[in-house]
Amino acid sequence: MSDPAAQGVEVADRRFPTEAKYFMAIGVFFALIATIYLIFSDGEWIGVSLLYAAVIVALVCAWFMTTRVQGAQADVELYEEGEGDQTVYLPTRSHWPFLLALGTVVTANGFSVGMWLFVPGVIVFLYALAGFIREGRDRA
Amino acid sequence: MTGEPHERRPRWLVPSLSALTAVVISGCDLGLPSPITREGENVTRLWSVFTILALAIVALIIGLIVVVVIRYRRGHRDDIPSQRQYNFPLEITYTVIPLVIVGVLFGLTIPVQENLGSKEGAADVYVEVVGFQWQWQFRYFEDESYEGDPRIVVSGSPEQVPVLVLPVDATVRFRLVAQDVIHSFWVPEFLEKRDLIPGAETDVSPGIDNVVEVETTETGEWTGRCAEYCGLQHAYMDFELRVVDEAEWQSWSSEAADATGEEGT
Amino acid sequence: MTATREVPPTGVEAQPLVEEPAAPERRLSGFLRWTTSTDHKDVGLSYMITAFVFFLAAGCLALLMRAELADPGQEMVGPGTFNELFTMHGSIMLLVFLSPFAFGIANYCVPLMIGARDMAFPRINLLSYWIYLGGGLSMVFGFVTADGAADFGWFAYTPLSDSVRSPGLGAELWLVGVALLGISGILSALNIVVTVFTMRTRGMTMFRMPILVWNFVVVSVMVLLVFPVLTAAAAMLWTDRNLGSVVYDATAGGQPIIWQHLFWFFGHPEVYILVLPYFGVVTEVFAVFSRRPVYGYKGLVFATCSIGALSLGVWAHHMYATGAVLLPFFGVMTMLIAVPTGVKMFNWLGTMWLGRVRFSTAMTFAIGFLAVFVIGGVTGVILASPALDFHLTDSYFVVAHFHYVLSGGAVFGVFAAIYYWWPKWFGKKLHEGWGHVHFWLNFIGFNLTFFVQFILGLEGMPRRVADYTEASGFRPLNVVSSIGAAVLGVSVLPFLWNAYRTWRRGEPAGDDPWDGQTLEWATSSPPPIGNFPEGLPPVRSERPLWDLKYPDRKATTGADPAARKATR
């Protein structure tokens, strides 16, 4: 099961998977657009920098998809019945996201409303963040 | 669309196109106000090309939808229809045709837009349009430097909207200046508007072209409005445009210049 | 293939990370389910229900505006309140309703459609929902502050939105809300991208994913590229207002135009972020109710990707009238978007062509979507021409245009999605008769409201005005528009009744009520935690369930010989 070739199934080369190609295409396209815009826009540097930032983001993603996560869907070409990846930990209930969001929202409002909201917000946020991280760590 | 549609399409295309032609021949501006500037006439022509094409495309798509709804409704035919998924030549066709249409439309746009933006030679009248919350002021200058004291200043009051008086058959150059927030100078019959951006007249915001030029072609009175949302009284930030003949323009401008001079001293 | 798989022997310890669950987990209920369940289906429903409540609220704001505009003079609300109304109407509809509703659909449907058990990061999923709700409420709470809600328009142009012209807590809360919604959107998008890229079931290659999933990939990548720009722009506006920086302040060396560039770099792709998910929805609906494969599937995928890519290069077409932008560049880029959009239209028609079209409510809404969206699309090409845009921008023509795209297009898509997946979500079918009443009221009301606004805009009515004069001649069409708005408002009532009725005594729908094609119909309605207890059908095309049901009627590249035999 771990060796697709043993099952006589033709498996596409996933060293440069579709996911990576997708981001690569975005990066190349934006590089083209950004360069055209750079030449003709006569120093409209906001758009130029935003477009080049998009190029960088896309290329980083393409690199990441090629080098780091190529194994994540190694068996996706197999025509078996299956349930997908069963090795990932997927919790079905947790109260930490709610508390973390509460902390985030209260803190953000505190920026504008005042310290009396900001300080409790930060406390809830830090408490929930710690709980959120520890929950993730404890389950292993 | 696997084969059959081709011979079907004209059946819907022909009547819709002829209906459109009828609309065009009836000679309206397809909803657009009739222009009072030379530049506006070009916009009207461009508008009719775009609109007729747009209506044709809408008619085509709606027509095809109607065909689908009538011909391909399930009804009692509870079988499984053709499962054909690709028709490469057809797909290329309906990619290339829109591409060509877009190319043509873009080609038609460019000259009109360059004409709207062109400011060659000297103009007859130089007006600085000043917008502030929520009123207009019109300052008439002698030349394109817009320097020194304006010859005429027209201001509005809470009871009376300001009146922008212009001579007919003259080239008028507007320099748009905002004093607080962004406004937009719009006489609908000009068929163009431009924003007034704070800081545009200084070096702070380079590359902002806030000068518009029009050639007036008709006498009459029209309403101008602020088109860019600018706060509480935005809806009431109107002005009046009065385009007058040469004689009236001469008498008005000398009177107004005197009045402005008296206020100044 | 239900046994737990071993971890590939690459890590330090090769042992299963998950034990066999002893018994199926019991579903939570009520408040606990809302706040603590990380199941993607629960989060998805929370998103959609919350977004729909915001939709109703923002719709009420619109009705108030239309009531005020039905007649010249100030009758119901003054200009101050009116400005708050349209600001919040736009902000809620765009940021708190359409986009989160789409994320709700993504949460519910994407894992099911790719055969996954859940989203990749279930807890972050729940986190982003609650940040979204908090952000939306922060924005709306502006109404109960002393100075009222934000009133600088949903695109908050500087310097109108600075601390001098728009003081008050409402404006601050709007900024906080925008920043929070931005964060929430980024988290959701990240989750969707990772889910689609790492959790697909066997056989589900990228080019076998349903179009809806593809659209969510494109949308999510766009969100990741542009939402940070919005959040950064909002943060800079916040520092301008509160800490004395002068990024956007022309009187102190800043540039107001920077805000427009940053905002529209987010704002234009945002429009596609709002509408692309519903393109996906109607694609699924067209295929299922025509009993056809998605016509030109690969072309459609490329069209979607090019719309997404092009949409990042067109932001300044909102700024033609500033006189500060490169007109030909943005003109041609914007018009080019019409090409892939046209391809999609013909693909949808091709999907229905030769089909066996069944006019369920979902299908009717999808066809209605197509009919109104084409009007929104062609007027978009008109607006793309700078020469014409100088007249049309900031007028009611633009208002009509984007309502045809978003209120006609996207909201029809929302209802198509609701009627299509309701059986999957709740196990009961909505009543078709009431559904059609809803559709026709909606369709007629919508066109009555917004078509006349094209003409109003051409005649010279600027957008965002609280009032107009009798002399302007705008009155008759405004009356028509307001009557249409009333019909549109009423059209929601049959839907609400339908939902209530179905909840009380709807007939059970079964697993696959529409003769579906994609994997979400291959499990129970609603699916249990873990989604596919019975395993999945093999995935060999983008219609695994269809292939299972009709093994001898697979999609063909050329003419379909089986169909010819059947019809003769």
Question: Tell me: the pLDDT tens digits for C216-255?
Answer: 999 999 999 999 999 999 999 999 999 888 888 888 878 8
3-state secondary structure of C24: coil
Q: Report the distance separating Cα C269 and Cα C413, nearest Å.
A: 18
Residue numbers in C near A55 (CB within 8 A): none
Q: How far is the alpha carbon of B254 from chain C, nearest alpha carbon, in Å?
A: 31
CB contact under 8 A, B61 and C349: yes
Token code pair at residue C350 = 């091709």
CB B35, CB B241: distance < 8 Å? no
- Let me know if residue C388 belongs to a domain: yes
Question: Tell me: the pLDDT tens digits for C308-330?
Answer: 999 998 998 999 998 888 888 99
* Cβ-based contacts under 8 A for chains B and C: 305
- What are the backbone dihedrals phi and psi of residue B224, each rounded to the nearest 5 degrees, phi first? -110, 155
Say if B207 is an interface residue toward chain A (CB within 8 Å). yes
Those chains having 3 or more beta-carbon pairs within 8 angstroms of chain A are B, C
* Bridge partner residues of B192 (DSSP): B187
Question: Tell me: the pLDDT tens digits for C17-27?
Answer: 444 444 445 66
Q: How far is the alpha carbon of B25 from chain A, nearest alpha carbon, in Å?
A: 41
Question: In Å, what is the CA distance from C252 to each residue of B138, C248, C261, C469?
Answer: 26, 9, 19, 38
Q: How far is the alpha carbon of B128 from chain A, nearest alpha carbon, in Å?
A: 26
**Neighbouring C-alpha atoms within 13 Å toward the C-beta of C469:** 10
Q: Which residues of A23-60 are buried (b: 16+ CB within 10 A; e: fewer)?
A: bbbbbebbbebbeebbeebeebebbbebbbbbbebbbe
Of the pLDDT bands very low, low, confident and very high (cuts 50, 70, 90), residue B264 is: low
Contacts of C492 by beta carbon, 8 Å cutoff, 6+ apart: C56, C59, C438
Instruction: Answer yes or no: is pLDDT of B115 > 50.
Output: yes
Instruction: Answer yes or no: is pLDDT of C482 > 70.
Output: yes
Q: Report the distance separating Cα B197 and Cα C216, nearest Å.
A: 38
Question: In Å, what is the CA distance from A12 to each residue of A18, A139, C203, C325?
Answer: 10, 35, 11, 46
Q: Where are the domains of chain A?
A: 5-80, 96-139
Least confidently predicted of B26-30, C84-88, C226-230 = B26-30
DSSP characters for B177-227? EESSS-EEEEEGGGTEEEEE-TTTTSSSSTT---EEEEEB---EEEEEEE-
Q: Measured in whole angstroms, how far is the alpha carbon of residue B69 from the centre of its chain?
A: 38
* Cβ-based contacts under 8 A for chains A and B: 4
Token code pair at residue B62 = 């709606």
Token code pair at residue C97 = 């309703």
| DSSP state at residue C164 | T
Burial label for B79, CB within 10 Å (0-12, 13-18, 19+), is exposed
CB contact under 8 A, C203 and A79: yes
- What are the backbone dihedrals phi and psi of residue C527, each rounded to the nearest 5 degrees, phi first? -70, 150
What domain range is C381 assigned to?
36-526+536-567
Chain C residue with the nearest C-alpha to that of A109: C176
Mean pLDDT of C179-186: 94
Query: Which pLDDT does position C347 carry in this prediction?
Result: 94
Say if B206 is an interface residue toward chain A (CB within 8 Å). yes
Token code pair at residue C125 = 């999923």
- Let me know if residue C163 belongs to a domain: yes
For A93, the closest of C38, C238, C333 (CB atoms) is C38
- Let me know if residue C337 belongs to a domain: yes
Of the pLDDT bands very low, low, confident and very high (cuts 50, 70, 90), residue B17 is: low
Percent of chain C with pLDDT over 90: 68
Chain B residue with the nearest C-alpha to that of C78: B232
Q: How far is the alpha carbon of A49 from chain B, nearest alpha carbon, in Å?
A: 17
DSSP characters for B46-101? HHHHHHHHHHHHHHHHHHHHHHHHHHSB-TT--S----B---HHHHHHHHHHHHHH
- On average, the pLDDT of chain A sits at 80
CB contact under 8 A, C326 and A87: no
Question: What is the dotted CATH code of the domain comprising B13-73+85-117?
Answer: 1.10.287
Instruction: Answer yes or no: is pLDDT of C199 > 60.
Output: yes
Contacts of A14 by beta carbon, 8 Å cutoff, 6+ apart: A70, A73, A74, A76, A77
CB contact under 8 A, A80 and C326: no
CB C96, CB C54: distance < 8 Å? yes
Q: Report the distance separating Cα C165 and Cα C150, nearest Å.
A: 11
CB contact under 8 A, A90 and C118: yes
Rg of chain A over all Cα atoms, to the nearest angstrom: 23
Q: How far is the alpha carbon of B262 from chain C, nearest alpha carbon, in Å?
A: 31
Residue numbers in B near C159 (CB within 8 A): 180-182, 198
* Phi/psi-derived region of residue C323, left when phi > 0, alpha when psi is between -120 and 50, beta in every other case: left
Q: How far is the alpha carbon of B223 from chain C, nearest alpha carbon, in Å?
A: 8
CB contact under 8 A, A72 and C197: yes
Domain at C82, CATH number: 1.20.210.10
Question: Tell me: the pLDDT tens digits for A51-100?
Answer: 999 999 999 988 888 877 656 666 676 665 555 555 566 667 888 999 99
Those chains having 3 or more beta-carbon pairs within 8 angstroms of chain C are A, B
Mean pLDDT of C332-360: 93
Query: Which pLDDT does position C7 carry in this prediction?
Result: 37
CATH 1.10.287 domain position(s) in chain B: 13-73+85-117
Question: Tell me: the pLDDT tens digits for B233-262?
Answer: 899 999 999 999 999 999 999 998 888 888
Q: Report the distance separating Cα C334 and Cα C341, nearest Å.
A: 11
Token code pair at residue C17 = 């990370």
CB C251, CB B204: distance < 8 Å? no
Count of domains in chain C? 1
Question: In Å, what is the CA distance from C206 to each residue of B109, C121, C326, C435?
Answer: 40, 20, 37, 35
Question: Tell me: the pLDDT tens digits for C382-408?
Answer: 999 999 999 999 999 999 999 999 988
Q: Report the distance separating Cα B134 and Cα B139, nearest Å.
A: 17
CB contact under 8 A, C321 and B116: no
Question: Tell me: the pLDDT tens digits for B188-239?
Answer: 999 999 999 888 766 555 577 788 899 999 999 999 999 999 988 899 999 9
Q: What's the CA dihedral at C107, C111, C117, C119 to 10 degrees?
A: -50
DSSP characters for C488-557? HHHTHHHHHHHHHHHHHHPPB--S-TT---SGGGGS-SSPPTTS-TT-----SSS-HHHHHH-TT---BS
Q: Report the distance separating Cα B86 and Cα C544, nearest Å.
A: 18
Chain A residue with the nearest C-alpha to that of C302: A22
Token code pair at residue C120 = 């990749």
Instruction: Answer yes or no: is pLDDT of C128 > 90.
Output: yes
CATH 2.60.40.420 domain position(s) in chain B: 125-264
Residue numbers in A near C122 (CB within 8 A): 90-92, 94
- Let me know if residue C18 belongs to a domain: no
CB C543, CB C555: distance < 8 Å? yes
Return the CATH superfamily for domain B125-264. Answer: Cupredoxins -  blue copper proteins (2.60.40.420)
Q: How far is the alpha carbon of B104 from chain A, nearest alpha carbon, in Å?
A: 21
- What are the backbone dihedrals phi and psi of residue C2, each rounded to the nearest 5 degrees, phi first? -100, -10
Question: Tell me: the pLDDT tens digits for B34-93?
Answer: 899 988 888 998 999 999 999 999 999 999 999 999 999 888 787 888 888 898 899 999
For C323, the closest of B1, B73, B209 (CB atoms) is B209
Instruction: Answer yes or no: is pLDDT of C556 > 80.
Output: yes
Token code pair at residue C427 = 């196990």
3-state secondary structure of C299: helix
| DSSP state at residue C324 | -
- What does pTM read for this prediction? 0.90
Q: Report the distance separating Cα C360 and Cα C141, nearest Å.
A: 39
- On average, the pLDDT of chain B sits at 84
